[in-house]
Amino acid sequence: MKGRAAFTVLGFILLSFTSLCYGDLQVGFYKKKCGFKEVELMVRKVITAQFYNDSTIVAALLRLHFHDCFVRGCDASILLDGNSTEKNAPPNFSVRGFDLIDQAKALVEGACPGLVSCADIIAIAARDAVYLAGGGWYNVETGRRDGLVSLASEVDLPAPSFSVSQAIAAFGRKGLNTTDMVLLLGGHTVGVTHCSLLQDRLYNFQNTGKPDPTMDTFLASILRSKCPQNAAKDNTVNLDQNPESTDVVDKSYYKQLMIKRGILQIDQELALDPQTNATVMSLATGYKFSAQFGQAMVKMGAIEVLTGTQEPKVDLESGQAWPPPAANGEPEIEIGWSRNRSSFTATASLKDLKLKLHHLGHPLIK
């Protein structure tokens, strides 16, 4: 009885969160819902202030949004703290931008408590960053609910070494087509990658003992000087090798691919594979990248979203995520919003359930 009562309380708390968001995704979801304040303007204020201090947040926020949407959909589950959450999966070790989302969330909470989801803030922040870096403006659909489950074991992102066919399949599983994939990889127009992801292309491509023949030889020589074999430090190199465009969201990335100056293997293969080379050429030579990139970002931002009164994917009888994670011993999930006063954390197991809700600055259950 005691255990069932505890889960009844959990059910009440989870159901109470469904009232925070209502309806499907739409542009202007929060319009006139925060008094005289505009939610998107408040988020933009935070992102703009940080951008002029550190323009690398553009790539960071794009990556944060992508990594969130590709696991359980765009539900901010990547923000949740815990030993076994998405944050602690190896592909997410170098993801940044959490502090910016926290800052924006705190500002919005101060104006309209309990209204705006972290998932929407991530999407808005990514759009604002793109625009500040010279990309086109696009309207963000909002109305997402935050997820309550985050599992490192579910993080399975497309790898830099994927073939085009493998990447098409991975994006296809998320409802994105080949053109969407080529456009979203255009996010590599900003940001850096680590030398460890280039070693095979520079020194031993596909175990040939030679560099990747599809890379420009002059570029390969430069990169080998920046990325020596067996280096003690894992250096970084720009994903867009046009020095005048490394911090600008534009079509330069595709132009570099056309002259064999792609950095990651998947990037260069886009220009070589017959499934994608026509799209790359069109983007490199045309004038539609900004508009089309925005459209692809909107489409990605709608992946598997929670809206309205959809239930979180949690089995209230067992306290386990569904489908249950593969783990030895007692099933347990850890869920929670991160570090500021809007945090929600919970640990649930068959033997023990501990709930701690910090919402609007006060605990409801201790």
Residue set of the binding site for substrate: 158
Residue 143 CA to residue 25 CA, distance in Å, equals 5
Per the structure block, which two tokens stand in for 105? Answer: 């969330």
User: Shortest CA distance to 332 belongs to which of 318, 344, 311?
Assistant: 318
Task: Give the number of residues written for the chain.
Answer: 366
What is the DSSP annotation of 175-197? T--HHHHHHHHGGGGS-EEEGGG
C-alpha separations of 280 from 161, 230, 262, 271, 333 in Å:
18, 34, 12, 6, 43
Asked if residues 267 and 239 have their Cβ atoms less than 8 Å apart, the reply is yes
CA 109 from centre of chain: 22
Residue 347 CA to residue 328 CA, distance in Å, equals 17
Annotated binding-site ranges:
68, 71, 73, 75, 77, 86, 158, 188-189, 240, 250
Catalytic residues: 67
CA 36 from centre of chain: 30
Per the structure block, which two tokens stand in for 42? Answer: 């408040």
User: Max alpha carbon distance in the chain (Å)?
Assistant: 71
Per the structure block, which two tokens stand in for 179? Answer: 């053109």
Q: Where are the beta strands (DSSP E) in the chain?
A: 26-27, 141-142, 192-194, 236-238, 314-315, 320-321, 332-336, 344-349, 353-359, 362-363
